[in-house]
Every structure is written in structure tokens, then in C-alpha cells.
Amino acid sequence: MELSAATQAWVYLILVWVGFGTAVGFVATLFLPAGGPPGFFGNLVIGITGSCVGPVAFVLLLDPEHFHPMSLVGFAVAVFTSIILLILYRCLALFTGRTAKQEVVTKEVPKEIAKNVRK
């Protein structure tokens, strides 16, 4: 099955942004390792959101002459924005009473097992 040139261009663009967003999310979680959205997809969402919002805000605020979001400066802006998003996520998690430790489901230990553990 052969895709049209326009479809191939869109697929390529989406895959590039997913890869770029994954790299941005990974680097952002290196700076703030714990307490963010759980797992690979959490990093992916934070990274893609930072990759889209950061460069747009950068262009609107500073109006640089020659700027491309897929450049080194664009990567730095996206990582910075993703770090801000991770901080906002943590603040929201604390405000709502959810922490990273509460995301793990725990069960109450039966009394018989608890007695054997204490011995």
C-alpha cells in the first residue's frame, strides 16, 4: 500500500514530534526525577506538551528573528517548559492530596500474617 506524499509528510511530522517530545520529557524528568506523571506515557505527554507550548510562548514573548522549535534553543525552551509543567503537576498533586506514594495500591495485612511477622 502506497501512501500519498502529503500523508507521508504528516506521518513523518507526527513521528518526529513524538520522538522530540519523548526526548524532552526524558530530559525534564532527569532534572525532577520523582513525583511526576507515572510511566512512559506520562513523560511523553509532559514532553510533547512542553515541546508545543514552550516554543509558541517563546515566539510570542520574545519574537526572535530566526527560531525553529527543532533546534538546540527550541529543545532548551521545551525542556524548561516541561520542567515548569512537572512543577505544576506536583503542586496540583499536593493540592488535591495525591502524592506519588499514594499512587501505589496497598492492602491491609491480615492479623494472622502480621502476628507471624512480629515473631
Q: pLDDT tens, 45-64?
A: 999 999 999 999 998 998 88
φ, ψ at 10 (rounded to 5°): -65, -40
Amino acid in the structure at residue 94: L
String of b and e for 64-73 (b: at least 16 CB within 10 Å)? eeeeebeeee
Torsion of CA 79, 81, 85, 90, to 10 degrees: 70
pLDDT > 90: percent of the chain: 20
Cell numbers linked to 32 = 525532577
In tens, the pLDDT along 7-45 reads 888 888 889 888 999 999 999 988 887 767 778 888 889
